[in-house]
Structure 1
């Protein structure tokens, strides 16, 4: 189960190794690079080749017919429809007050500076559907994109072994009003959308989590001239649970396993100031693991899981901040009191009754979050990520005279004569009443 590492007796090298991620970085980057460059060079033909070889795709086009979405919705169980509707409602309520706002400031007499907001024009939402079709991810990405009023939203969904997109994902897309679903995934699907190949429209930005190859393809595209931007680093999932001696070990074990069942390279970390608690959690993990339908995936993930023994809760928070987890669960006395000390986490779950699963599905906050320590610089997906801002500047005659001398002096400091002249000519014209 979880190996125990005594933090205060560990060397700096051991500490660094304990907080490292089990990623397939170099291999994934090399393969994704080849795929992206091949699609860039060969276009549609390369996209079809990869889809046939990697997805088993045999269709005539990647766009799923609208009739398939309608049929999937009609066939969906009524209770499932209700659960999806309720989740959409909660996510919508949480995100409704988000978004950039227009601002206007008179920075000098006669100098009006504004910021105006525009939605992105076209985005792709990547919805993982390999071993687990993530209906919840479609909700988490689709709702803020719609609230931002993105003009054109396409969905990339890897087809199953039968070449078809999961019917529940199609039904959810129908319920959201997202009509453009493409049966393609992986690095080749990301490249097709980012470059506008294979019959897919070229998008401005790609959203959504995926495996290491998908994450690498998104990063590669974002660095290419004219390539699609990326939302955030989002690879294999991870959770860190902080638990004191009063935490319920069954709850803690369930939280760890709910992350471990995602992916063989998902990472789970337990941090506690109680060796007895760690032992109890290990026993509960062993018992609960036997009941899981995805226990083999969870077992693989647990091979690189770890438990970190610390001296107190303050040190537990410090370790968590170093790790910067995608998900942080705090199960200890008075957990709210530690929130101000938490600096780096994608999403925080406070208290024994707050499992990560609640946030994954229907509580409201977004579950598309930064991984691999990127929570030090990124937050989760939000409405703002589907928007951009433009600054707008306008000078009146008074503005040219009040601002002019400052601009001219600063241009002189930088030795940029044309800059100074551009301002000076206007200022003189206003002073002379031209």
Structure 2
């Protein structure tokens, strides 16, 4: 038995080191490419690595291989190399999931994604709780940034080809993990900024203005990356990322003004504009859950003159149809793998206050509250136009009931019901 175990371990070690390294591109898409309506699959192929997979998730040896990789990660004493090794294994899981989807094997893809998510959750937990050198922080930040773009690209790749509840939860975790990037440098700058607040003025003002400018620039960089991730997930940039681009451009304008003020030694004013730029850039970093909350919270108002998204120090106005289009697209993507029962659902339109009907609960727009259809009772003398009625019920003769909006006998039609021979009607809708 011991000989068999050693033979299996030797085989796994040989396979692990014999695998060809993943061939990856070290650069993300250019801004020029992102601002053109290129085919989404091209973006996915650019971000995902070219891979070779020796042992597939369907193989009995795959579980042994994964366990060996876990042991190898635990045995690594170098903090940076431990993270690099973990991300490399996570990249392999993405490669395995992609090949499985290409072959139509959803269960194999689910296993690979499940292991990927387990690895990345441990990586983020380890990174957030470990003190690293500045050099290691910078290198790990770049590794995580590139991996998150790959994971987001795979999320779009799978969601555009598969609609299966077996993989939906794992796919959601992949996309959520992809949004956790560049946290190390952000925390470092924020710590330095908070420490500078305890320094004596005017030195403190100069230091804080300088650090806040750098922090704002970092948030802008992260926002640009978030837009790339959103583009990889949702495809057509113009349908999803317009709001992000507007927020990002506003942050860039504010930072440019902060730079000029800093050069002119107006440090207090520079600090103010840099802080505004940082806050605006944070709002531009829209991932899936943030997009839903941002587009449905109380700070979003829609009226005939435009849609306004406001915060403490800034306001952005866009056309109502554009914001509603973004809301609906995000909602449809959030529900892409959810099975909705064909049950008529009523929700209140926040603009008109009317209770409207939808074929399924998933079709209700974000921000609309559930409501009950109004019921109106008519006397025998009542007439009127009921084009929106979904059901007419004859309270005195049940055989006159018709749920299509019309009455067969002497009751008339939904548009002009004849109530001369009945005591009362109910109109539901």
Scaled by the length of structure 1, the TM-score of the pair is 0.28
Higher helix share: 2
Scaled by the length of structure 2, the TM-score of the pair is 0.29
Higher strand share: 1
- Which one scores higher on RCO, CA 8 angstroms, separation ≥ 6? 1
